[in-house]
Structure 1
Amino acid sequence: MRRTATGTARRRPRSLSAVAVLASAGLLLAGCTAAGQAGEGESGGDAKDRSVKVGLVYSRTGLLADYGKQYRDGFMAGLDYATKGTGKIAGHRIEVTEQDDAGDPGKAVSAAKNLIGKGYKVLAGTTDSGVALQMAPLAAQNKVLYISGPAATDAVTGINDYTFRSGRQSYQDILTAGAMLGGAEGKKVTVLAQDSTFGQANVAAVKEVLGARGAKVGSVLAPPSATDLTPFARQVKAGAPDLVFVAWAGSTAPALWTALDQQGVPAASKVVTGLAGNASYPVFGDAGAKVSFLAHYFPGAGGDNAVEKAMLDAVAKAGGTPDLFTPDGFTAAQMVVRAVEKGGATDTAAMVKALEDWTFDGVKGEVRVRAEDHALLQPMFVARLDGKDGDAKPRLVSTEPMDEVAPPAKPSAG
């Protein structure tokens, strides 16, 4: 087993190492998606042949529904890949029930409590950062394994011993941006974001990373419900920043980039942003050639490695389109299968131990689950857009190694 750069894994609390949670023998819920065969019960088989129930709580509807679909498509492809098409691992059937949180923390918690009450020991999903911050404490309270998805807030890392993540976090985005920006000393940086958990996390991360390097960091925050974004673009330009870091999520992204382009922001300042999904490529127009993109993922970024090819083929075969957060779902499924294979169907403590310090081949390349705080160390990408409008396509400029963009380790909160 590979150790992290800081050495051995942190010491686990005694309460976690003693946990042995029994799985429910209830029937598969109606309306779920089963990796095994629906309707098969656990009674009558030997102890090794019991099912493992996985609750997939994500944004099937709401502002982040597109991201939720990408995650779900990736998860199903990853489950098929990691179980070699059987839906089973180490004799255990993996049964998946989907729940829609619509981006509402209250709905997510309600769905999670219902699943936990029915004996589910593994929860995954979470498209929204605010939802993830409500789900994580619930996992610790009930001693269930929770693998967060695209939610990028740094606060999820190290929040407790039962919470992991299958996507990147804001700090990794900022470190990638910092690699592009060079020296920050004396630079004026404006973060343009939504006034949300995700947006505030990006402001905090930019201040922590670039501010510590001598940059003066300010922010312009727009309400998540805002549709007229021109006033915010004007405010950014009026501040005359050297660097504009744009952190935006959801369906209003096209309106944002239209406003920025119309107000001449990319011409006046260096603009750095995360590369969003396929649908966003055309909205940059002429401004696209002036923007530097830090990229969590885009199809082909992984260098056509075998895992990425498997994901791309499986998602396309199922009628989906691989996109920004498809790897987050795929990785989550790999982690679920690893947890069950090495930890068994009922012992949450063993599942947690199985994931800590695990290095594996993922869609983006080699990734590692850091034992100290469960950060997912992974490569990040720098890209440019070639072409414009419907012909715009990302081009890989460079790959930042996972250790170069690793967030600082922090101890688990328990």
Structure 2
Amino acid sequence: MRRRTTLLVGFVLFLSSFALMADTIKLGFNYPKSGRYRDLGLQQRLGAFLAVEEINKAGGILGKNVELVIRNTMGSPERGVANTKELIQKEGVDMVFGGASSAVAIASGKMAKKLDRLYFGTTTSANATTGSEGHDHMFREYPNAWMTANALGHYLKENFGDDRYFYVTADYTWGHSSEASLRTFTDTTDEKAHPHALTPFPNAHMQDFTKALKAAEASNADVLVLVLYGNDLIRALKVAYDLDLKSKLQIVIPNISLGIAESVGATIMQGVISTTPWEWTIPYQLDFPRGQKFAESFTEHYGVRPTSTAATSYDIVYQYKDAVERAGTTDTKALIKALEGHSYTLLKDKQQWRAFDHQNLQTVYVVRCKPRLEVMKDELRSDFFEVVGSLEGEKAAQTFDEWKAERAAANKPPHL
């Protein structure tokens, strides 16, 4: 009798623990805590934690608490894949998001598809993420290289139309697609007239940037395009400043974030032209109240300003919540259906998850870095960017025919 009672109590406890587990929605966060993209990863993490905290305070998702389960990719695609598998199989997460490099996001997303979970790409800009390597389980919040190049190209053609360009490009997926896209939109596809230098990825050294930038100086170019990101971009900008290239060439960067600008410093960043989907000053410049609220809450929580990478992860968590509540379930197929074609506004103007490629359509802003004295006026010395141009998401993105052509070139079907 005692044994039967013990077994019954144990069974009740088991069921209770199962019910407790069922009342939690787990989100797997796959980000670079270390490595060359660690600063971007930290901002992603802070944005995700803030979203989860707010959602839980408001009652969770479908009445269930949200738990963030994190893993460090260290910027490695192999580690990203292993993390994704562990998050889904061992931790039982309902979806996975992250990736500060496209190689990590693409590889991790394929593992998520294999295990039937959604994967949201955060700071991944290679066209391939939702293009040649895209699939039905991958959704990308961040603008791709085509979108940023289109917006930037419009501005550059208008202001530097007849100038000579020199490209310094990271030798990997994002670098190649970003350079190719920007060449298309600036009419600089002639590599003899507008040459380039490749820098190793992921193991570039200062001497690699010095060699490439000296080649740029010797080319007598007017515009220097640094197709680099993260730590590589920070180091290259410092080398360019030491070589006095800022006084000789207009420096252009396909993508910028506040974290990179702060690491480089206001003196070096002054006058640099780039693009961003969001930075903390933009909601004030363009009157987006919800974006202002996020910026203020983030700063109050963490004592720093949010970057575009923080906004991206924050947006993803809220979009997952919205999709689950509209679908009434965490079932992957139902969520794909709920997301495809869905439009919304959160931290900026209208955004949409485009149905045929799962690319998030959103406005891309062209920004110029302010003079040092203006940057320093902000109490946290973080007011770096002035919006000088923009392009709406639908106009910036590839058309369906252009997307199909990219897929065909990679021997992929004309659908996800």
* TM above 0.5: yes
CA contact (8 A) 1:270 1:291 kept: yes
Instruction: Report how far residue 341 of structure 1 moved.
Output: 1.0
Amino acid at match of 1:70: Q
The reply on whether 1:105 has 2:84 as its aligned counterpart is: no
Amino acid at match of 1:316: T
Instruction: Report how far residue 380 of structure 1 moved.
Output: 1.5
The residue aligned with 1:61 is 34
The residue aligned with 1:21 is none
- Secondary structure, counterpart of 1:89 in structure 2: coil
The residue aligned with 1:370 is 354
The reply on whether 1:268 has 2:240 as its aligned counterpart is: no
**C-alpha distance in 2, partners of 1:287/1:60?**
26
The residue aligned with 2:68 is 96
CA contact (8 A) 1:176 1:381 kept: yes
**C-alpha distance in 1, partners of 2:261/2:216?**
21
Which residue of the other structure, out of 308, 322, 325, is the alignment partner of 1:324?
308
Moved more, 393-402 or 185-194: 185-194
- Greater Rg, structure 1 or structure 2? 2
Pairing of 1:339-354 with structure 2 (within 5 A): 339-354=323-338
The reply on whether 1:396 has 2:373 as its aligned counterpart is: no
- Secondary structure, counterpart of 2:261 in structure 1: helix
Tell me the TM-score normalised to structure 1 length.
Answer: 0.81
Instruction: Report how far residue 281 of structure 1 moved.
Output: 4.5
Amino acid at match of 1:305: F
**C-alpha distance in 2, partners of 1:42/1:305?**
42
Alpha carbons of 1:278 and 1:250: their partners in 2 closer, same or farther (altered >3 Å)? Answer: closer
Alpha carbons of 1:185 and 1:275: their partners in 2 closer, same or farther (altered >3 Å)? Answer: closer
CA contact (8 A) 2:139 2:359 kept: yes
The residue aligned with 1:337 is 321
Amino acid at match of 2:245: V
- Tell me the alpha carbon deviations over residues 325-373 of structure 1, each in whole angstroms, 9 at most, x when there is no partner: 1111111112211221123444211101111111111323221111110
- Secondary structure, counterpart of 2:181 in structure 1: helix
Instruction: Report how far residue 223 of structure 1 moved.
Output: 2.0
- Secondary structure, counterpart of 1:103 in structure 2: coil
Amino acid at match of 2:72: D
More helix by share: 2
The residue aligned with 2:408 is none
- Tell me the alpha carbon deviations over residues 243-298 of structure 1, each in whole angstroms, 9 at most, x when there is no partner: 32222212243331222233343333333223332452573665544432323332
CA contact (8 A) 2:39 2:259 kept: no
**C-alpha distance in 2, partners of 1:376/1:262?**
38
The residue aligned with 2:274 is 293
- Tell me the alpha carbon deviations over residues 13-50 of structure 1, each in whole angstroms, 9 at most, x when there is no partner: xxxxxxxxxxxxxx9xxxxxxxxxxxx944289xxx74
Alpha carbons of 1:313 and 1:194: their partners in 2 closer, same or farther (altered >3 Å)? Answer: same
Instruction: Report how far residue 374 of structure 1 moved.
Output: 0.7
**C-alpha distance in 2, partners of 1:121/1:282?**
35
**C-alpha distance in 1, partners of 2:76/2:129?**
17
The residue aligned with 2:186 is 210
**C-alpha distance in 2, partners of 1:286/1:91?**
49
The residue aligned with 2:297 is 314
The reply on whether 1:175 has 2:156 as its aligned counterpart is: no
**C-alpha distance in 2, partners of 1:198/1:247?**
9
Instruction: Report how far residue 406 of structure 1 moved.
Output: 2.1
Instruction: Report how far residue 144 of structure 1 moved.
Output: 1.0
Amino acid at match of 2:290: V
Moved more, 182-191 or 84-93: 182-191
More strand by share: 1
**C-alpha distance in 1, partners of 2:239/2:248?**
14
**C-alpha distance in 2, partners of 1:290/1:310?**
29
Pairing of 1:179-198 with structure 2 (within 5 A): 179-182=154-157, 188-198=164-174
Question: Once the two structures are aligned, what percentage of the paired residues are identical?
Answer: 20
- Secondary structure, counterpart of 1:60 in structure 2: coil
- Secondary structure, counterpart of 1:182 in structure 2: helix
**C-alpha distance in 2, partners of 1:91/1:171?**
39
The residue aligned with 1:226 is 205
**C-alpha distance in 2, partners of 1:312/1:106?**
34
CA contact (8 A) 1:381 1:399 kept: yes
- Tell me the alpha carbon deviations over residues 184-210 of structure 1, each in whole angstroms, 9 at most, x when there is no partner: 877543222222333223123223433
- Secondary structure, counterpart of 1:57 in structure 2: strand
CA contact (8 A) 2:170 2:227 kept: yes
- Tell me the alpha carbon deviations over residues 153-197 of structure 1, each in whole angstroms, 9 at most, x when there is no partner: 111114101100122211122112112112687754322222233
The residue aligned with 1:16 is none
**C-alpha distance in 1, partners of 2:20/2:120?**
31
CA contact (8 A) 1:55 1:120 kept: yes
CA contact (8 A) 1:50 1:345 kept: no
Instruction: Report how far residue 306 of structure 1 moved.
Output: 2.4
Alpha carbons of 1:125 and 1:44: their partners in 2 closer, same or farther (altered >3 Å)? Answer: closer
The residue aligned with 1:31 is none
**C-alpha distance in 2, partners of 1:269/1:378?**
30
The residue aligned with 1:33 is none
Alpha carbons of 1:156 and 1:87: their partners in 2 closer, same or farther (altered >3 Å)? Answer: farther
Amino acid at match of 1:61: S
Q: Can you give the 5+ residue segments of structure 2 that lack an aligned partner in the other structure? A: 1-12, 377-382, 405-413
Pairing of 1:39-78 with structure 2 (within 5 A): 41-43=17-19, 50-78=23-51
CA contact (8 A) 1:299 1:323 kept: yes
Amino acid at match of 2:289: A
**C-alpha distance in 2, partners of 1:144/1:113?**
10
Alpha carbons of 1:240 and 1:314: their partners in 2 closer, same or farther (altered >3 Å)? Answer: same
CA contact (8 A) 2:277 2:362 kept: no
**C-alpha distance in 2, partners of 1:208/1:383?**
20
The reply on whether 1:247 has 2:231 as its aligned counterpart is: no
The residue aligned with 1:114 is 86
Amino acid at match of 1:112: T
Aligned-residue RMSD, C-alpha: 2.9
The residue aligned with 2:411 is none
The reply on whether 1:129 has 2:102 as its aligned counterpart is: yes
Moved more, 154-163 or 228-237: 228-237
CA contact (8 A) 1:166 1:376 kept: yes
